[in-house]
Amino acid sequence: MKTFVSLFPVSIFVLVSALATPVSDCRGEEKKPATTTLSVDSAAFTFSPGNWAGDEGRGGSGYRQTWNPGAYFRVTWEAGKEASAPVLLLDTSTFDKELFDAPRIAYQLDGVWQGDVPCAEEIVLEGARDSGPHELTVFLKSSRQTERWGSEGVSGRNVLRVTGLRIGASGTPGVSAPSKKWALIVGDSITEGVGAYDLECYSHLVGEGLREWGYEYGVSACGWSGWLNRGDKPPGDVPGYYVIKDSTDGSGGEYVEAESRWNKIDANTSLLDEKGHISATGATGEEPSVILINYGTNDSLWKQNPSDVQSSMKQGLLAVRGAAPEAEIFVLIPFGQYKAEELRTAVDAFREARPDDDKITITDLGPDSARALKVKEGYWGGLHPNPRAHATFAAKVLARIGMKLGDM
């Protein structure tokens, strides 16, 4: 019996190998495909509002950086004929491997997701090899709760710092136009997403729901933080939200600007425009349409001075209103019902001070949520809700916001 060996598979292998072989010059040296880089100040980029600092204040062409899990950016481009994958370019020079692991991102490229990607100087993005339009959205998924805020004149080290996107040489930038409407979501570890993974936390889900209604959104949250309580691993370098000291019976006291973060992106970057209003990117006329605040849990657990916490809530809400005159403010009662009475008192004081202001709302999911979370490692998790609870809370919070905004 004769044995026949087909040459067809070999021919295919040779053809594929030839196509995959890098182009060489006349000396036999490998030539890399020609590329072009979209810089972060290109119109192709849109960054989540209220989240990002740059090499020149909140701008510049060198980089944009954020320390906030949940922050995102989008970039659009038209690819040419080159069959090369785009490459995300990051600056990782601030990282300290002895102090923290590299932050992790998730991204969506033309509708296909990749998750749990550690930050590196160059990240080859699978897909988008065909000519034509492409869109990439990148989220800072998680980072260690340390070395994120920075200090005067010194950047935080544990940050996502984007320097550009490398594409084929014949590619051209698109125009990624952001919505003028945006929401600012502020909170502690629960808002940051501790207890949930892969962008499963309520803040991301609420934000994505708002995007369906035409809003951009920025998440500004970190573990351990509160109205007074410092954020990130104790002693924590992230200031409290609106710090008051030496109050009396929940009123008065001294506001400490240097120890407060309500009007800052990081230690060196203001959240306000030149008029003192909260701004998406630093320009005037970019105030948020919606502000959602979830604070009180850590002020209770860490036993901050009750009078100062109460005064912080009262004065902080008025300060936020002054910086966002037309925003709908939603004061979320923490899911565990921490400081619920004090928050209601603060909103009552706000309404007494501004009787014609109907754009502030208490959002309370009620004591049943708190009881469910008291069962440690229970069906809904514990102090930090599990993904199941985050999804449930997000649906309820988004419904309350939608009814107030008239989007439902």
Do residues 162 and 228 share a domain?
no
Of 173, 190, 220, which closes a domain? Answer: 173
Q: Are residues 104 and 234 in the same domain?
A: no
Is residue 18 situated within a structural domain?
no
Are 258 and 142 contained in the same domain?
Answer: no
140 and 118 assigned to the same domain:
yes
Residue 235 and residue 225: Cα distance in Å, rounded? Answer: 11
Q: What is the pTM of this model?
A: 0.91
In degrees and rounded to multiples of 5, residue 107 shows phi and psi of: -145, 155
Shared domain for 131 and 114, answered yes or no, is: yes
The total of structural domains in the chain comes to 2
Looking at the fold, whether 155 and 121 belong to one and the same domain comes out as yes
- The reply to whether 55 and 95 lie within a common domain is yes
Question: Does 215 lie in the same domain as 166?
Answer: no
Same domain, 209 and 334: yes
- How far apart, in whole angstroms, are the C-alpha atoms of residue 260 and residue 293? 15
- Within a domain: residue 27? no
pLDDT at 10: 32
262, 165: one domain:
no
How far apart CA 127 and CA 112 sit, in angstroms, is 8
Confidence (pLDDT) at 408: 53
Q: What is the dihedral of CA 377, 198, 111, 160, to 10 degrees?
A: 160
Domain boundary, last residue among 140, 173, 206: 173
Look up the CATH number of the domain holding residue 123: 2.60.120.260
Nearest-angstrom CA–CA distance, 159 and 55:
13
Reported as a single tens digit per residue, the pLDDT across 223-257 is 999 999 999 999 999 999 999 999 999 999 999 99
Q: Is residue 17 in a domain?
A: no
201 and 155 inside one domain: no
Same domain, 257 and 351: yes
Instruction: Answer whether residue 12 is part of any domain.
Output: no
321 CB-near residues (< 8 Å, 6+ apart): 327, 329, 350, 354, 357, 360
Domain holding 252, by residue range, is 182-405
**DSSP labels for 205-217?**
HHHHHHHHTT-EE
Structure confidence by residue, pLDDT tens digits, 71-100: 999 999 999 887 688 999 999 999 999 999
| pLDDT averages per 10-residue partition of the chain, 408 residues | 35 30 47 86 97 97 98 96 88 97 97 95 89 95 97 97 95 90 98 93 98 97 98 96 98 98 98 98 98 98 98 98 98 98 98 98 97 92 96 98 86
Contact 237, 148 (CB under 8 A): yes
Residue 94 located in a structural domain: yes
Question: End of a domain among 173, 198, 216?
Answer: 173
Query: How far is CA 239 from each of CA 157, 299, 301, rounded to the nearest angstrom?
Result: 16, 13, 17
Report the CATH number at residue 248. Answer: 3.40.50.1110
